[in-house]
Amino acid sequence: MPRMAELVFREATVIDGSGAPGFVADVAVEGDRINAVGSVPPGAREVDARGLVLCPGFIDTHSHDDGAFLRHPDMAFKLAQGVTTDVSGNCGFSTVPNEPGREYMPGDISGPGSSWTDLESYFAACMAKRPAINNLMLVGHNRVRAHVMGLERRAPTADELAEMRGHVARAMEQGAAGLSTGLIYEPGRYAATEEIVALAAEAAPYGGLYVTHMRNEGDRLLEAVDEAIAIAREAGVGLHISHHKAAGRRNWGRVAASLAKADAAHASGTSVTLDVYPYTAGSGPMWQYVNLSAIDREWAEGVMIATCPDYPEFEGRMVPEIAAGRGWTVEEAVREILTSPRGREVICIHFIIDEADIETNLRHPRVFIGSDGIPVLKGNPHPRLFGTMPRVLARYVRERGVVPLEEAVRKMTSAPCERFGIAGRGRVAEGWFADLVLFDPATIEDRATYAAPKQEPQGIRMVVVNGQVAYEDGVHTGAGAGRMLRYRREA
Ligand code: ZN
Ligand code: CU
């Protein structure tokens, strides 16, 4: 006689993550696993799931939460969206390798490091905080390069390159999913293609990935895709392109050409996947996008200030509006904001993406969902940190019918789990880890806006992480059941 299950979802519409049509069934959870799907005997706790969708927990394939696991272990902004696993360490920024106490870069979006040195000790520091959700890591090229050679604008010496390779290899051995780059950022932009090939090759013995914020996402998008494909091919690894977009009005529509290149490479043996966020604005450290001696006025006119320690009154306002209020030109406003004492900590939101390109991306079968949210909770952060997953399900599935619900769930669950080596997760099936989301498909909706981002979504009834109820009807239970995941290993 089997033990009574701890948690039973009764008559849920199960969307199992595979892309198959939903079906009505009971789902039982015992320990950290799903132990039955079908018709199950009474459990210790019964949840009436009639009319609700039960699916695997969502994977945020593009997060910058590696520092947030320590600063905000409740991970409230992700958990309330149904995210049960983050892929962190993106865009070349990661918390490893780390020299305790060293500040690597002003305004480093992964946050300052303290006690840890490598992935193992970082994972231990995170687990001591009892995080609410799971975390898988990439090792970031910007961090590796800064660790070994600071912000030097030159190629590495042979010794420096060997040391950098050692850091990538060590992170891979300890469970990283691959190498990430941010080739528009300092210091990644000083790296030639060969340097990246040499580092990405360290992921090859593990079957790991090359994950890239490409060198260009605007006028030279297609050349940047060519470079990314060449790097992956020469290094012998799979390629994952981050936050795929064609930035700037004159480039809108070019994501179709870029996806065609990705498909051609995929067909010829270099696997290619991508991610997208469902918003027309990007966000990041403002100083990284601006050349103060040639400020791009068209770009600046589409910029909103998210976080600005020296001018908190600018937060949530567009640059032209700020300029008009102070009697500045747009260029003067940008200069003033960036040259203020804490100007390097300024985070901006820039409206650079075409709505139709988002839909083109979402329709592609190998495009996953990644929030790219920056977990700086002061000021007025980009709403994607709070609303990404529900926004896909509300706006692009229910309202516009861009992709069917089962396909959207697949993009958020089994597909990224297979790609990122998240073993034993991403399906609602017997024996799989019990990372689950219960939501109402008729009412699920993001509520975070540019004007008021810090609002939890509606329509998410329950989120289960490793068998524990982590979130229920707006309440964060503090279960702290998240785990540090290692590439292709069950944990
Ligand atoms: Zn990026
Ligand atoms: Cu990013």
**What is the pLDDT, as a whole number, of residue 55?**
99
- R_g (Cα) of the chain, nearest Å: 22
Which of the ligands is closest to the CA of residue 109? 2
- Ligand 2 centroid from CA 366, angstroms: 18
Q: Which residues contact 111 (CB under 8 A, 6 or more apart)?
A: 66, 67, 68, 70, 71, 95
What are the distances in angstroms from CA 465 to CA 167, 456, 483?
Answer: 31, 18, 9
**What is the pLDDT, as a whole number, of residue 104?**
87
**What is the pLDDT, as a whole number, of residue 108?**
67
- Which single residue is written with the structure tokens 């990705």? 262
**What is the pLDDT, as a whole number, of residue 186?**
94
**How many other β-carbons are positioned within 10 Å of the β-carbon of residue 448?**
25
- Ligand 1 centroid from CA 428, angstroms: 31
- Ligand 1 centroid from CA 282, angstroms: 9
Residues of the chain with pLDDT under 50: 1
**What is the pLDDT, as a whole number, of residue 110?**
61
Which of the ligands is closest to the CA of residue 385? 2
At 128, list the tokens: 């001591």
Q: Which residues surround ligand 2, an ion (CB under 5 A)?
A: 90-91, 372
- Ligand 2 centroid from CA 94, angstroms: 11
Which of the ligands is closest to the CA of residue 65? 2
**How many other β-carbons are positioned within 10 Å of the β-carbon of residue 342?**
13
Instruction: Give the helix/strand (H/E) hosting 210.
Output: strand 209-213
Helix, strand, coil share of the chain (percent; to 5):
35, 20, 45
At 95, list the tokens: 């918390």
**How many other β-carbons are positioned within 10 Å of the β-carbon of residue 217?**
26
**What is the pLDDT, as a whole number, of residue 172?**
98
At 107, list the tokens: 């305004």
Asked whether the whole model's pTM tops 0.85, one would answer yes
- Ligand 2 centroid from CA 282, angstroms: 9
**Amino acid of residue 26:** D
* Residue 289 near residue 343, CB atoms below 8 Å: no
Question: How long is the chain?
Answer: 491
**What is the pLDDT, as a whole number, of residue 111?**
60
